[in-house]
Chains A and B, each alone.
Chain A
Amino acid sequence: MPNSCGNATTTTVFAPILPGREEALQSVLLQIPSGDTSPFECLGNTHFTRFVIVDRLEYEAAPQIPDGLKSHYLLFNAVFDGPLDDFIASMLRHFPELVDRIWSHCVGYPGSANPAAVRTYLRHNELEATFFFAAYGNSTLPQVRKALALRGRLTQFAIGAQGASAEELQARFRREFAESAEGTR
């Protein structure tokens, strides 16, 4: 199962771009917000996504013969919790028009009106990973977020408690994390 690591799945879709559509596609991609306002945020299970327009090959050897591609390609990579088909279905449920605006610039994209065909299309253009490493493969996105928030709290606590005596430190720690400690019992 090279496309999965623990609970996490990765997909890499390498789709040929229709000739002459690169700029239009790029402007669609540049308009996709990242961070908290990313459309992928609302899926609730996406660790990372990235889009790359692959327009040429870099080959570095001297004396060099330039290498070429038959087409320009859109590379889409995502890491998410759960199986790929659920992820595709989730994208089509939450932002079908964005999926259309992106992949309609690619060769053979069937359109979100036919979700089964979109799934077939993305799977057809998928490259299987030969080695996939997920930093937190055994944790879901909400678990990772929770852990990061806890670390942030602990860091702030440690900074604030710098120089405190052992007794005071223990008392403050209990005050600060009593509720978390209860939660884990």
Chain B
Amino acid sequence: MSAGNVQGNFFRGYTHPLCVFRFLEITDGPAAREWLKRLLPLITSEAPWDAKPAATLNLMFTWPGLRALEVPDEVLAVFPPEFRQGMAARADLLGDTGADAPGQWTDGFGTGRIHVGLSIYALDDTSLRERLDWLEQAAAETGGVAVVSEQVANRLVRDGPGGSKHYPEHFGYSDGLGQPAFSGVPVKSPRGGGSPEAKDTWRDLALGEFLLGYENEGGEFPSSLLPEPLWRDGTYVVYRKLEQDVPKFRRFLQEHGKAYPGGAEKVAAKIVGRWPDGTPLALRPEKPDADLSWDDTRNNDFRYADDPLGMKCPAGAHIRRANPRDALPFGSSMVNSHRLIRRGIPYGPALPDGQSEDDGAERGFLFVAYQTNIARQFEFVQALWLNDGNKFGVGDDRDPLMGQGEGSGKMLIPGAPPHFLSPLPEFIRVRGGEYFLRPGIEGLHYLAAGAPAAAPAAGLRAAPRPDPLQQAVRDLGAQVADGLKAFGQNLAHGLQNLTLQHPHLTQAQLSLLRKHRPIFVLGKTAVVTRSADVREVLGDGARFQVAYGPVMAALAGPGTLGMGATAEYDHDAAALRAVVRQEDLSRIASFVDDLVPQLLATYRPGGRLDLVRGLCNVVPIRVLAEYFGTPGVSEDLQLRWSHQLFEEIFGNIWDNVADITPQGRAVAAQWSSYLDDLIERRREEQSAGVATPDDLLDRLLRQQQGDGPSLTDERIRANLIYMAVGFIPQVSKVTVLALDELLNRPQELAGAQAAARAGDLDLVAAYVWEALRFNAETPGLFRICPADTVLARGTERETRIPAGTLVLAATQSAAFDEEVVPEPDVFRTDRPWSTYLYFGAGQHQCLGEYVSRTQVPRIAAPLLRLNGLRRAEGDAGRLSWDGIWPKSLEVEFEAGS
């Protein structure tokens, strides 16, 4: 956590006496960004102060506000639903009904017009006035924002010994004593704020419960789908204006104080769970203790488990509901993910002590709470803990102070005899509120710069990624283990699922493995993630064998791809290499260069194209027809056949012939039969002296007449099938994935487009292959160890791999290995080709590598030259899947461009 990137009043609460909230509407996006730029230097952060600033400035934004600032739709769409909807839309859930309903709200709340919440805390009136004047001047100069409403607040103060202070609210209770304690911040919280643990200890909560970008109690990183500047060091804010009817509350206390033994002050204590001076009832059930209340080391250090009936602190008391500590089952695990940092402040004049007649003044409390998940934190607490009592065994009793909605209208104070506070009126009325995002300082810069262009913009420090944590490694282990155990003895299916689904292993998981378990052996499977080790596995076909042989043999006969390091392999591979010639590449290049513009031309008038069906699937099939001489029965069948056999061969990682499906066998038979016919016809044409095209089929057949190594008809057929199986689906998929990734990256897309327009194909290729690194087609390749072997011998990673282990050589991970890939998280177009391993390495390095490398950038370049290339709106513009295969991804461009 970088304190300088966190807006102030977060882990250290401001204590300035004066406060103004201003709520603004953005009337013009670009002008508002100019306005925001002016404000940036004045924003108060959590960086340590030399002296307390005379006036602070902080900003937060509603979802409509981010939209008004022209944050792109695809970013807006990934905010959590409750934030997108806003507080007013959640009224039923929150119990904001009747007099509390959004229709009754004031100050512009719930109207959609509040876009920005601006807060200023000041030491005195002069500083406050100066800051407000400055802000007005800035807004007048740039325009773009208009004030919707303003809220003045002022702290109430209760002085204690040695200059210590408590900050009560209008009902008279010292407030803010029970803040959460969390890790990763340079302040020490008083005992009792964290998670209650065994032996009377407290554990700091995870920072990610309150600050975005860090692991939370559940091991998650909330909102991390957003562009990093928008979440890094930000938080979500719940702001609620709660009007307090203090005379009514005091009359209620007086009335019940007459019947309840202990009087009005004890009723007040039972309602809240603390005596008004802050002394917790759990520690002092009979009377307040001033020394204790002023002692920060003790006044929050208490629990409820020894008081299940609530004889000391009622189960229905406010602080026991809002933070049940250890009162619920399973320790505090049901509580820890429902905590809030509260930074509220009262507004309006205090009602003089002892007065209980209505004075007509408006007063109340500005509830301000920080969290990383509004639904799970504020909304959960309000709806399930404050508005309902079922969880605490008090039926539908609501919180006596903060609860809303219908309830039983009573509160039970346990005792002998018990006492009912009934009827229980509402003392608080909700006057309005909003949900805000309070970004980090970088996030404010990002918004000011105009979100789309700013994503990786210059001047923004690239924040370090969250520290990988051992816990997450264990979770991953558990995940893999679960996947495997679920299938009992058949361990393979677990890993098969991992590799065939897309997306598969996440970058985070791989990064954790690289760091903590670079060679991760679990039962009969292993995952290898460091570049050097991946290369060792792929480079040694004897110790790490390919696992496709028997299945391939059973489908369409043996092919080189499935063979071990044998003489047979050497012979067949030599025959194949002899017919694949260097000069073929330029022929393929010009074929693709002609084909792609033709394909695009048909979509040009409409300005819309499905990248998958209209382009990426078509090109490799046409190249195959031209270069291999095997057009297939139809293009559609050619595609389906290759998908089917790919899944049969590469999805069947234990190479179990019994797992071949009937469809797989049928496809192999049909394809073989089609090729048999084709071979027979071509041979007849050759012997008849007819001019035949110079393609691989032709060369392989003529090779049979020569002296060098050649393939039998069966092997020709099998290898033509397997090359098509490797070639068609993967060329298509990697092209789609690379384009999909570029479409997510405005800056890189612009760079690739410029390269395409300048005719710099090498640079286009660099963009495409680098994009694929971030959107990998597969996590890696499988190999099987025939005998015990040692991997990474002589290094600290040295690990014994038992015979029969299935090894995933995670090429995706190797391309992010910090050891050999500089700045792995940065998109760079100057990386050496050896970074990528897209075509494997070693014996089975892809035969089609050069054909593919020639082809893929040439598919992309003409597309990138189109003007205004962008995703189509809505779902059509998102990549959809048919199993493991891309199904559609529609793009739009300027018609006729």
In the complex, residue of chain A having the shortest beta-carbon distance to the beta carbon of B208? A60
A65 on the B face (CB < 8 A): yes
In the complex, residue of chain A having the shortest beta-carbon distance to the beta carbon of B512? A61
CA distance A163 to B466 in the complex (A): 60
A180 on the B face (CB < 8 A): no
| A window 62-87: CB within 8 A of B | 62-68, 70
Q: Which residues of chain A come closer than 8 Å to B259, judged between CB atoms?
A: 162-163
**Residue in B222, B223, B507 whose CB lies within 8 Å of A63:** B507
In the complex, residue of chain A having the shortest beta-carbon distance to the beta carbon of B775? A65
Q: Which residues of chain B come closer than 8 Å to A67, judged between CB atoms?
A: 503
Q: Are B225 and A158 in contact (CB under 8 A)?
A: no
| B window 59-105: CB within 8 A of A | none
Q: Indicate the size class of the contact surface on chain B.
A: 20 to 34
CA distance A67 to B219 in the complex (A): 17
Q: Are A62 and B881 in contact (CB under 8 A)?
A: no
Q: Are B221 and A62 in contact (CB under 8 A)?
A: yes
In the complex, residue of chain A having the shortest beta-carbon distance to the beta carbon of B506? A65
CA distance A60 to B209 in the complex (A): 13
- Known A-B contacts A70-B881, A162-B259; the reply to A62 vs B224 at CB < 8 A is yes
CA distance A159 to B422 in the complex (A): 7
Q: Are B881 and A68 in contact (CB under 8 A)?
A: yes
A155 on the B face (CB < 8 A): yes
- Known A-B contacts A62-B466, A63-B507, A64-B221; the reply to A159 vs B881 at CB < 8 A is no
A 154-169 to B, binary, CB cutoff 8 A, 1 in contact else 0 = 0100110011000000
Q: Are B508 and A155 in contact (CB under 8 A)?
A: no
| Majority DSSP secondary structure for residues of A touching B | loop
Q: Are A61 and B420 in contact (CB under 8 A)?
A: no
Q: Which residues of chain A come closer than 8 Å to B883, judged between CB atoms?
A: 70
CA distance A159 to B397 in the complex (A): 13
A151 on the B face (CB < 8 A): yes
**Residue in A60, A66, A151 whose CB lies within 8 Å of B395:** A151
In the complex, residue of chain A having the shortest beta-carbon distance to the beta carbon of B422? A159
B220 on the A face (CB < 8 A): yes
**Residue in A62, A155, A159, A162 whose CB lies within 8 Å of B213:** A62
B478–chain A nearest beta-carbon distance, Å? 14
Q: Which residues of chain B come closer than 8 Å to A65, judged between CB atoms?
A: 503, 506-507
B408 on the A face (CB < 8 A): yes
Q: Which residues of chain A come closer than 8 Å to B422, judged between CB atoms?
A: 159
Q: Which residues of chain A come closer than 8 Å to B509, judged between CB atoms?
A: 61
B739–chain A nearest beta-carbon distance, Å? 16
CA distance A170 to B880 in the complex (A): 71
- Known A-B contacts A61-B224, A64-B221; the reply to A159 vs B503 at CB < 8 A is no
Interface centre among A60, A66, A159 (most CB of B within 10 A): A60
B865 on the A face (CB < 8 A): no
In the complex, residue of chain A having the shortest beta-carbon distance to the beta carbon of B475? A61
Q: Which residues of chain B come closer than 8 Å to A162, judged between CB atoms?
A: 259, 419-420
CA distance A118 to B472 in the complex (A): 43
CA distance A162 to B222 in the complex (A): 49
Q: Which residues of chain B come closer than 8 Å to A60, judged between CB atoms?
A: 216, 220-224
CA distance A158 to B421 in the complex (A): 11
| B window 136-182: CB within 8 A of A | none
Q: Which residues of chain A come closer than 8 Å to B222, judged between CB atoms?
A: 60
B825 on the A face (CB < 8 A): yes
Q: Which residues of chain B come closer than 8 Å to A158, judged between CB atoms?
A: 418, 420
- Known A-B contacts A151-B395, A159-B420, A162-B419; the reply to A64 vs B410 at CB < 8 A is no
B465 on the A face (CB < 8 A): yes
CA distance A155 to B316 in the complex (A): 15
Q: Which residues of chain B come closer than 8 Å to A61, judged between CB atoms?
A: 219-221, 224, 472, 506, 508-509
| B window 379-404: CB within 8 A of A | 395
B213–chain A nearest beta-carbon distance, Å? 7
Q: Are B395 and A64 in contact (CB under 8 A)?
A: no
CA distance A61 to B503 in the complex (A): 13
For this complex, 18 residue pairs linking A to B, each with C-beta atoms less than 8 Å apart, are A60-B216, A60-B224, A61-B220, A61-B221, A61-B509, A62-B213, A62-B465, A62-B466, A63-B508, A63-B825, A64-B224, A64-B225, A64-B508, A65-B507, A67-B503, A151-B395, A155-B408, A158-B418
In the A-B complex, list the 8 residue pairs whose CB atoms are closest, starting with the nearest. A60-B220, A62-B224, A62-B221, A65-B503, A64-B224, A159-B420, A159-B422, A61-B508
Contacts A63-B224, A70-B881, A159-B422 aside, 15 further interface pairs with beta carbons under 8 A come to: A60-B216, A60-B223, A61-B219, A61-B221, A62-B466, A62-B508, A63-B465, A63-B507, A64-B225, A67-B503, A68-B881, A155-B410, A158-B420, A159-B410, A159-B420
